Amino acid sequence: MSSDSRARLKPWTSASAMNVLDIQFMLEILPKMLFAALVTLEISVLAVVFSIALGILLTTWKLLGGKVSGALIQAFVEFTRGVPQLVQIAIIYFALPRFGVVLNEFWTGVVALTFIGAGYAIEIIRGAVESLDRGQRESAIALGLSELQTLFLVLYPQAARRILPPLTNELANVIKASALLSVISVNELTKVANDIIFEYFVVIEVLIELAGLYIVIIGGLIWLSRALEKRTRA
């Protein structure tokens, strides 16, 4: 934000006791908030795509693998569901360099949210597949399909309609968890909003803008999910 902008914004603090929204201030900070929203959107889209892909991969491994692999994947699921998201982000942020994996804050955030989302995706996908009639699998095997082909050609497509609603809810929670990435200095939406609040001591206007941008991002995910549901029903 330019020095001229800061000069215009500073006088607002003297009137902060007034219970009136300062629309001019909200317009002044909007470009900065939109840029931060773009960073949040980029992280969220990457995390959603990667968590679904990882969830499908690990679910397949769990369903087709042995007891040891199944136990390991279940331990991963219990960890992601049982440990607070903030703790998981901190562990990944400090643990990756120990294993020689050095990422910037952006990609560390993507990795953290991917693991969090995958933990929930595994259980949702597994539950949807196991809720299908066992005759589907038996018929596919009788026709000569392998277990892997049966999953990807028969079971997963049929389970998609059951997977989408709960998966959308969990992925929306993952996107909201991106707000926690501010603790590892990712310049996402919540961190930038906090920086503005601490710089100008303006709270309500910033929080309203922050909430509105999150609603737009989450609303986009929900709209996409509903569109996919309609297509699967058709």
Q: Write out the two tokens for 82.
A: 């049982």
CA distance to 117, 120, 160, 182, 234, per residue, from 168 (Å): 11, 11, 12, 23, 19
Q: Is residue 24 part of a domain?
A: no
Residue whose tokens read 């601490």: 198
Q: What is the pLDDT of residue 234?
A: 62
Closest CA to 221 of 144, 117, 74: 117
User: What is the residue-wise DSSP string for 106-174?
Assistant: HHHHHHHHHHHHHHHHHHHHHHHHHTS-HHHHHHHHHTT--HHHHIIIIIHHHHHHHHHHHHHHHHHHH
User: What is the residue-wise DSSP string for 177-206?
Assistant: HGGGGGGGT---HHHHHHHHHHHH---HHH
Closest CA to 156 of 186, 115, 125: 125
Q: Is residue 11 part of a domain?
A: no
Q: DSSP state, 15? A: G
Domain count, the chain: 1
Give me the amino acid identity at 116: I
Convert the pLDDT of each residue in 172-199 to its tens digit.
Answer: 888 888 999 988 888 899 999 999 999 9
Closest CA to 201 of 3, 14, 51, 56: 14
Domain that holds residue 150: 36-188+198-233
Q: Which residue stretches of the chain have pLDDT < 50?
A: 1-18
Closest CA to 175 of 50, 56, 45: 45
Residue whose tokens read 């007891």: 67
Q: Return the CATH number at 223.
A: 1.10.3720.10
Whole-model pTM: value is 0.82
Q: What is the pLDDT of residue 17?
A: 41
Q: Is residue 57 part of a domain?
A: yes
Q: What is the pLDDT of residue 7?
A: 46
Q: What is the pLDDT of residue 59?
A: 93
